[in-house]
């Protein structure tokens, strides 16, 4: 005697609660809408002229090219003043050089901070979007677990019925 087939789609639908059906319907609508839309990049902050300048300065100052050029200029400044001797434009202890480097630090540090603040805001938005996606995936996985549990219960019920039917047939033949 063949084993009873597993539950049909209509039996599964009948076993779902109204809440399960609404969740399933919402997930299907969401999936369909996401498939029809092109994948959008994470939200970016608008970049005004100040943000563009801050990003450009941060990119330039944070590069090896800048470090090498600035090192070469500092060495040239020191050697030029050392060779010039008494006619040096910035004799030792290089007060003009210190002033120039202080101005450079005073203006680049806030620009780098502005760029980093903007980038951290972008990262925060990316993290929020990732969190939303993870919550949706968790809900969908939970629904799948519920479906699998329901299918297992129905399969166990069908197997139990089949065993009972076989036991009744055997009892009937033995009597």
**Measured distance CA(78)–CA(140) in Å, rounded:** 67
Report which of residues 39 and 127 the model is more confident about.
Answer: 127
Please name the residues in contact with 77: beta carbons below 8 A apart, sequence gap of 6 or more: 90, 94, 97
What single DSSP character describes residue 88? -
pLDDT for 45 equals: 65
Higher pLDDT, 15 or 148: 148
Cα angle 54-55-57, degrees, rounded to a multiple of 5: 65
**Rg of the Cα trace of the chain?**
36
Sign for the CA dihedral angle at 129, 130, 132, 133 comes to: positive
Query: Which of 150, 173, 63, 79 lies closest to 112 in space, CA to CA?
Result: 63
- Percent of the chain exceeding pLDDT 70 equals 83
Q: What angle do CA 46, 52, 55 make, to 5 degrees?
A: 110
Q: pTM for the complete prediction? A: 0.55
Tens digits of per-residue pLDDT, 36-78? Answer: 665 555 456 678 898 899 999 999 999 999 999 999 999 999 9
Task: Indicate the pLDDT class of residue 132, thresholds 50, 70 and 90.
Answer: very high
pLDDT at 87 over 70: yes
Domain definitions of the chain by residue range: 48-174
The answer on pLDDT for 3 being more than 70 is: no
pLDDT band at 99 (very low <50, low <70, confident <90, very high): very high
């Amino acid at each position: 005697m063949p084993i009873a087939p597993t539950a049909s789609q209509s039996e599964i639908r009948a076993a779902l609660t109204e809440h399960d059906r609404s969740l399933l319907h919402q997930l299907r609508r969401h999936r369909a809408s996401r498939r029809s839309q092109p994948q959008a990049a994470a939200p970016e902050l608008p970049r005004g002229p100040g943000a563009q300048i801050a990003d450009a300065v941060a990119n330039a100052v944070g590069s090896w090219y800048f470090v090498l050029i600035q090192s070469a200029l500092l060495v040239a400044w020191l050697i030029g003043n050392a060779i010039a001797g008494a006619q040096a434009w910035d004799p030792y202890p290089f007060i003009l050089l210190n002033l120039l480097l202080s101005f450079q630090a005073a203006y680049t540090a806030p620009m780098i901070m502005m760029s980093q603040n903007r980038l951290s805001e972008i990262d925060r938005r990316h993290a929020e979007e990732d969190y939303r996606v993870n919550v949706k995936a968790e809900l969908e996985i939970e629904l799948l677990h519920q479906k699998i549990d329901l299918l297992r219960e129905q399969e166990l019920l069908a197997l139990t019925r089949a065993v009972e039917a076989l036991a009744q047939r055997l009892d009937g033949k033995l009597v």
